[in-house]
Chain A
Amino acid sequence: MSPGPLALVLAALLAWLAIGTLGLARARELVFVSRVLFPVGALAGLVLAAAGVIALGAPAQALVVPLGLPDLPFHLRLDALSAFFLILLGAVGAAISVFSAGYFRSSEGTAPGLVCFHYHVFLASMALVLLADDAYVFMVAWESMALSSYFLVTTEHRIAEIRRAGFLYLLIAHVGAIGILLCFGVLQGGSGDYSFDAMRAAKLAGHWPSVAFLLALFGFGAKAGILPLHVWLPEAHPAAPSPASALMSAVMLKTAIYGLLRVSFDLLDAQLWWWGVIALSLGLATALFGVVFAAVQTDMKRLLAYSSIENIGIIVCGIGLTVIFKSHGKTLLAAITMTAVLYHALNHAFFKSLLFLATGSVLHATRERSLGKLGGLIHRMPWVAWLALVGTLAISGLPPLNGFVSEWLLLQAFLFTPSLPQSFVNMLVPVAAAALALAAALAAYVMVKFYGIVFLGQPREPGLAQAHDAGRLERVGLVFLAAGCVLLGLFPVQVIALLDPVNEMLVGSTAGRGVAQNWLLLAPINADRASYSPLIVFLVVGAIVLLTTLLVRRFYHGRVRRADPWDCGFPLQTPRMQDTAEGFGQPIRQVFEPFFRLQRQLPSPFDAAPKYSARADDHWWHWLYLPIARAAEACGRFFGLIQQGRISVYLTYSFVTLLVLLLFVQ
């Protein structure tokens, strides 16, 4: 084995597999599994991230492992793109592992060792996806990833809902995987050589590149949750234990992004502008759809899941723009957009896992997932609440945190769009920018709802008074992720410089040199056109806040008196008078009514125990999935008619088949 980062990555990968196996061997020993195995797994994650950082700057390393099919051994390759996503996986994975060490307790449905096994296989297969350099090992890793995460989703398999969610997840993942498989079938160009090197070299003629791209979009889109293949996401994420949801949302969705980038920018040698238009439109639709649905959710993990759909939409939209730029040879702009895409992927991994883990802690402390039964947890769980606040602000895209940086870059890319040959695309771009801005603003709405209802206000249920804060290991994980959000937000120039090799590789140009005017100032083209320095903004806001406080204390005073809330003088105040999740989402439900399939249950005026309920369902179920299911059922019934038990009829089939074939041959 050649030394260097690849060796380190492989070591981490094997370590994960070994940990998983150990967990399986000692499945029932909770303390061993949680206090020993998970932290060691976290260490492996850190090693992986470090190796990724080293590999970003280094030339690509390749390795052939004599496994797999006889003519197709496992090709592994560590290049800049893989390295970037490995950093993401390693860093976020490490944090989630540490958190998990404190999270998994006994008396959960599945033995802890089994969870440990699936968890680490999941991690290892994601790493392998990123390393894969031929279609076979890619697919093996890809499906292992789906499978192990399926088992994580169905940890509590006794609940029928969760089984249903798991089934839906695995089904869509599998159909998507077949799409990817067919995509590789196109890419190999009939050569029978499935290594990525051969695919890079293959020159596809005619429509084949477009077919490959569309198949990739379909296949990876199913995993990423692009409309209309998103339906599994809001089901599976809430069903899984929180660390698993975090891992799926933060990292697994990114492997789909990785795959899309790998296929469209690495394996396909030229891009067509209309691919970009498709990706852009789909991405925007996904983003808007996701955020609007997130706004009306009442389950905190479902809300976050829809928010993941939104973020994936933003990323895909960025990919679309990159394709448009690249196809017109504007490599510098493509590099900027690509930077935004990668940056947002990284950011989303950090803040979304932070939030999912926070919901995990809340879930543990309160046994409650429904927003309507939470509230006021900032007093009971200060650690979780304050760290979640960082995540909330970051995901809302507020300066100076990380979410803002990537949105800023992406918006800049839209603004810099030069006039393109297709006037239709020219018109699309501003509309896309507007839609993106709308999605970002709605995200803030959603996150205020999430944070305000879970952590602020008064506890909506008496039981919440017993909630306890996260344990020490959990806190470490959360702090790590929150720190990541802050650092990624404050030092974009350094991060973008790190991304340069990836840009160089994918779009043939670097953004870093242009983007970084100096170490403080982020300026994509030049400082006159646009610049942003989060550190300065942070320091200035901080200084003003500090100065104001000091001055107020200096010239006036800092006295505080505690009293009951005033509330316009209303005498009776109960926690139930606060907005519920439904209430908070109601304006959005009203404004975006066509988005939903609303089912309201209104009480009659004479109802003794009036009950009101409103459900916002996904149209796609009724437009796409149920019709497919019904069509399949109808086909099944039709084919069932063929087989109606009578032997004469069966003999007739044989006979007719024979006659028809004889006629055919003649």
Chain B
Amino acid sequence: MAAGIPFYAQLINLFAAVLLLISFAMLAQRRVLSLIDLFAAQGLALALSTAVVGWGTGQSHLYWSAGVTLTLKVFLLPFLLYRLIRRLDVKWDVEPLINIPTTMLVGIVLVVFAFNLAAPISNLSSTVTRSTLGIAIASVMLSFLMMITRRKAIPQVIGFLAMENGLFFAATSATYGMPMVVELGIALDVLVGMLILGVFFFQIREQFDSLDLKHLEQLREDE
């Protein structure tokens, strides 16, 4: 952390680091319930950072954005996920397709890659929070990796939502947030998507008696 940047920017950098850390933690986490907790924590970090950006730059609409994030990602979605897991009775641990050390190694490579990618862009930015763009890209990629490595439906969805968090973080940190109407639209999509997924879980369970993705590998071309 170079000296001379405002305090709020340092705060944001801190939240960014937390975000990345949580992303790694999710990558390594086997337990579904813990994954949800981590997801909520990530949401909290996101909401806080959004609020701090709003405070630091005086962009009042970011407070709204932070509020939406808080409601949606810290309370509503984790709550829904908890309920789902209770209703579906799927509290098993998840064993990923690739073992966790390997995943972590790949994750570190991805972070390096993401930072490299972001470096030239960050220098162009006028925002004080520009250096966090690399972290945003990294967390998006880590979530992507997580989705690839999970073999159950719910962790995959959590990975998907975590990816959305990374994107939100990119939006707030790099550009002080998108226009409000867009943010609201995105939030609505995420919510509806989550609801539909919920419906889906039930349908899948009804059909296959499990949420294991190995049942969903019948449509293929390689027979």
Contact = CB atoms under 8 A, between A and B. Distances in A.
A and B: direct contact (Cβ < 8 Å)? yes
Interface of A: 637, 639-648, 651-652, 654-655, 658-659, 662, 666
A652 B144 CA distance: 9
A663 to B, nearest CB: 8
Contacts of B156: 647
Given A659-B113, A666-B117, A645 B148 contact: no
Interface string B192-222: 0000000000000000000001001111111
B151 A645 contact: no
B148 A644 contact: no
6 contacts: A639-B221, A643-B220, A648-B213, A651-B144, A655-B144, A666-B117
Interface residues of B, number: 22
Main secondary structure of the interface of A (DSSP, over half): helix
A648 B113 contact: no
Nearest to A637: B222
Nearest to A636: B221
A639 B149 CA distance: 23
A640 B223 CA distance: 8
Interface in B144-185: 144-145, 147-151, 156
Main secondary structure of the interface of B (DSSP, over half): helix
A645 B213 CA distance: 10
Contact of A643 (B117, B141, B221): B221
B97 interface: yes
Contacts of B97: 648
Contacts, number: 50
Given A651-B144, A655-B144, A655-B145, A644 B220 contact: yes
A644 B222 contact: yes
Given A643-B220, A643-B221, A643-B222, A648 B148 contact: yes
A630 B176 CA distance: 58
Contacts of A646: 213, 217
A640 B222 CA distance: 5
A644 B221 contact: yes
A13 B144 CA distance: 63
A652 B117 contact: no
Nearest to B213: A647
A53 B156 CA distance: 77
Contacts of A647: 156, 213, 216-217
10 nearest A-B pairs in the assembled complex, by CB-CB distance: A645-B220, A640-B221, A645-B217, A643-B221, A644-B222, A651-B148, A640-B222, A641-B222, A644-B220, A648-B148
Contacts of A641: 221-222
Nearest to B145: A655
A644 B223 CA distance: 8
Nearest to A640: B221
Contacts of A655: 141, 144-145, 148
B215 to A, nearest CB: 11
Nearest to B98: A648
Interface string B29-59: 0000000000000000000000000000000
A166 B209 CA distance: 50
Nearest to B113: A659
A272 to B, nearest CB: 46
Contacts of B223: 640
